[in-house]
Amino acid sequence: MINEISPNIINVQFSGNKSISENDYILYYNEEGLLWKVIENEFSIPQKTDFEAFPGNAEAVFLFTFNNIPCFLLRDKPKTKGENFVFKDITFFRAMPDKELAWLSLLGYQFKYWYQSNRYCGKCAAATLHKTDERAIVCPSCNTVKYPLIAPAIIVAVICNHKILLIRGMESRVGWHTLIAGYVDFGETLEQAVKREVAEEVGLEVKNIRYYKSQPWPLSGSMMIGFVAEADENEPIKIDEKEVSEAVWFHRGELPPFSPSLSIAGEMIEKFERGEL
Ligand SMILES: [Zn+2]
């Protein structure tokens, strides 16, 4: 999975009043994506030294360290030195040969989205401030504090004997088959969410739900929580036509193209294929 790099490489422990040094990494995202430095087709994250002096009012936010080097998010575009810089859409991570940088670009995007979405207080609409002692945003007017918000979502491999139920979503652009997934609703346990999502999307009842593992997924700001569950392949499938275009039981060894193992879905399907799930 794309997030499975050595835990020491990216350290998200918050460190408030860090000032930027010349070698620190600078993440700048705009509508086109993330700004990369490219030299002879080698992509890297620009460092402060790659820019002219930052504008006086530039807002630089400490995000995390990458191999012990601080990474800062910049809100306003700084002027680069030279021409070796290019914006790449956030989905570029799929093509990045360097898994660590791919994960860094995704994780930075999640921070950027969260900071951007909380520039104003949701309660009283005043401009917010960044807390300096922890990763949080505070409203100077009504004192509301906002912590990073992560949306839990379940993802479930529904199996029966040597078969796995794979679906294709209505909005799937690539046409891969994948697993049933959905956000956990207010008041639900994870197990209840698994049962509800399977019932809603394919009309089946599941049992013997067991936890697999989890994967943070920055693109949707969610935490994918993986489960395996059993259903009866002889029961009729009734798909939710708003969300699912196809749901089919596939026998091990006869699987169609499925999501790559960057994601927990791909990893679970691969493990099923190898008889390990
Ligand atoms: Zn407020």
pLDDT, tens only, 251-268: 999 999 888 889 999 999
pTM score over 0.75: yes
Q: What is the pLDDT of residue 169?
A: 85
Dihedral sign for Cα 253, 230, 212, 156, please: positive
Distance 145 CA to ligand 1 centre (A): 9
pLDDT for 182: 96
pLDDT 10s digits, 16-58: 767 888 999 999 999 999 999 999 989 999 999 999 987 666 6
Comparison of pLDDT for 233 and 96, the residue scoring more: 233
147 CA to middle of ligand 1, Å?
14
Identify the band that residue 78 occupies on the pLDDT scale cut at 50, 70 and 90. confident
Ligand 1 centroid distance, CA of 137 (Å):
10
Q: Phi-psi category of 221—alpha, beta or left, where left has phi over 0 and alpha has psi -120 to 50?
A: left
User: How far apart are the C-alpha atoms of 227 and 213, rounded to whole Å?
Assistant: 7
Q: Could you give the count of Cα atoms lying within 13 Å of 200 in the half-sphere of its Cβ?
A: 12
- Considering the chain, what is the average pLDDT of its residues? 93
Structure tokens at 64: 């995390």
Å from CA of 126 to ligand 1 middle = 5
The torsion angles phi and psi of 208, rounded to 5 degrees, stand at: 50, 55
Q: Which of the listed ranges 58-62, 168-172, 183-187 does the model predict with the highest average pLDDT?
A: 183-187
DSSP reduced 3-state for 31: coil
If you measure from the C-alpha of residue 127 to the centroid of ligand 1, how many angstroms do you get, rounded to a whole number? 8
CATH class belonging to 10-117: alpha beta
Instruction: Report residue 94: phi and psi, to 5°.
Output: -65, -30
Please tell me the predicted confidence (pLDDT) of residue 229.
98
Which architecture does CATH list for 151-273?
Alpha-Beta Complex (3.90)
DSSP 219-261: GGTEEEEEEEEE--TTSPP---TTTEEEEEEEETT-PPPB--T
- Give the distance (Å) from ligand 1 centre to CA of residue 120: 8
Confidence (pLDDT) at 128: 97
